Amino acid sequence: MKGSTVLLDKQTVKGFTFNNRYVCAPFDISKATDDGLITEELLSIYKSRRGSSLIVVEQAAISPAGQYREKLIFVDRNECIEGLSRLAAVIHDNNQVAVLQINHAGSAADASITKMEAVAPSAVIHPVFGRAMPKAMTKDEIHKLREDFAEAALRTKKAGFDGVEIHNCHGFLLSQFLSPITNLRTDEYGGNLENRCRLLMEIATAVRAAIGDEQLLLVRLGLDDLLPGGLTLEEGCFVAEKLEMVGIDILDISTGLVPPLNLPGPAMLRNMLRIVKGHVNIPVIGAGELWDIKIAADMVEKREVDFIAIARPIMDKPDFVEDLLDKIKKAQQ
């Protein structure tokens, strides 16, 4: 495991110190109250996830219509701030950077829970989730969505988080806007790629204005839909470049309409990460079965990625990353 010490390297982003190259990836565990408030159980789970330099807390719904499944965290109203501030404090107590992922599920929302008609860029049944036919959003609804993201981000800041991550992957609403499969609009939010990514750029800009320059702004970008006729890797790289231009701080990379979980690992997104890394100058986080220290270290060493995000092993073993760090430190002695 010689050479793996690169994973212990600190990095500073905007004055925030990242103690190593590991990130606890966002994964929703449905442990909030029915109306999306933070529970003691959630606090104790996050408290046990020690080791990584950054925790990106699982997707929090920015509005009731955007709820993907039951007992998700909500950040849609000021009542949520108190519980979220306890969550941020738990993460800071472990000397980790705290970021909250904010999301609207669009046509992947579960209408049996939301009791609302799902919304989407266009009336297209979700090609992966296959839920009910959604309603195409009006321009007013699109503008309101922009405000909802900005207000959710401001609440996150008020709760004491170090930043927010805009969820734009895994088939949720913003990835539905990027994809030519789910976005059939003929106005300025649909059609060519410039138009399909307009909403994401507007939201990133509105969120930045809401949280100010000192907070971290991350986007988890689905770089490739992995479906014929969907967003291509080349298009994803164009969007990544634009995100850097509008001033995001860190690019977190995953897949678009199709979540990465069924792809054969390990390191199933490695090629994608290496390619996008060549397109941007901001730090890049990558995930996708990067559980092997050697592979992770090789990727960081070769500058294919800056941070290694881990999800599934942490579900069963919350101190998984701490163990990896111990192994690396021992090998170093």
Ligand X SMILES: Cc1cc2nc3c(=O)[nH]c(=O)nc-3n(C[C@H](O)[C@H](O)[C@H](O)COP(=O)(O)O)c2cc1C
Task: Using the structure block, give the residue that is written with the tokens 């266009």.
Answer: 122
**DSSP conformation class of 318:** T
Binding-residue total with ligand X (CB under 6 A) = 19
CB of 138 to ligand X, least distance (A): 27
- In angstroms, the CA 244 to CA 249 distance is 7
Residue type, 284: V
Q: Distance from CA of residue 189 to its chain's centroid?
A: 22
Q: Write the interaction track for ligand X spanning residues 288-327; mark x where CB under 6 A is met and - where it is not.
A: xx--------------------xxx---------------
Q: Which is nearer to ligand X, 237 or 308 (by Cβ)?
A: 308
Contact set for ligand X, span 216-235 (CB under 6 A) = 220
Q: Does 58 bind ligand X (CB under 6 A)?
A: yes
Contact set for ligand X, span 86-105 (CB under 6 A) = 101
Q: Which is nearer to ligand X, 25 or 91 (by Cβ)?
A: 25
Q: Does 163 bind ligand X (CB under 6 A)?
A: no
Q: Which is nearer to ligand X, 190 or 260 (by Cβ)?
A: 260
Q: Does 286 bind ligand X (CB under 6 A)?
A: no
- In angstroms, the CA 194 to CA 215 distance is 27
Q: Write the interaction track for ligand X spanning residues 113-152; mark x where CB under 6 A is met and - where it is not.
A: ----------------------------------------
- In angstroms, the CA 167 to CA 185 distance is 21
Specify which residues 136 forms β-bridges with.
120
- Binds ligand X by CB under 6 A, chosen from 7, 13, 23, 25: 25
**DSSP conformation class of 83:** H
- In angstroms, the CA 80 to CA 37 distance is 6
Q: Is 303 left (phi over 0), alpha (psi -120 to 50) or beta?
A: left
| Residue 79: both structure tokens together | 């009542």
- Binds ligand X by CB under 6 A, chosen from 67, 96, 156, 254: 254
- Binds ligand X by CB under 6 A, chosen from 21, 28, 152, 286: 28
Pairing of strands 22-24, 97-103: unpaired
- In angstroms, the CA 73 to CA 80 distance is 9
Q: Does 284 bind ligand X (CB under 6 A)?
A: no
For ligand X, the binding residues (CB under 6 A) are 25-28, 58-59, 101, 167, 170, 220, 254, 260-261, 287-289, 310-312
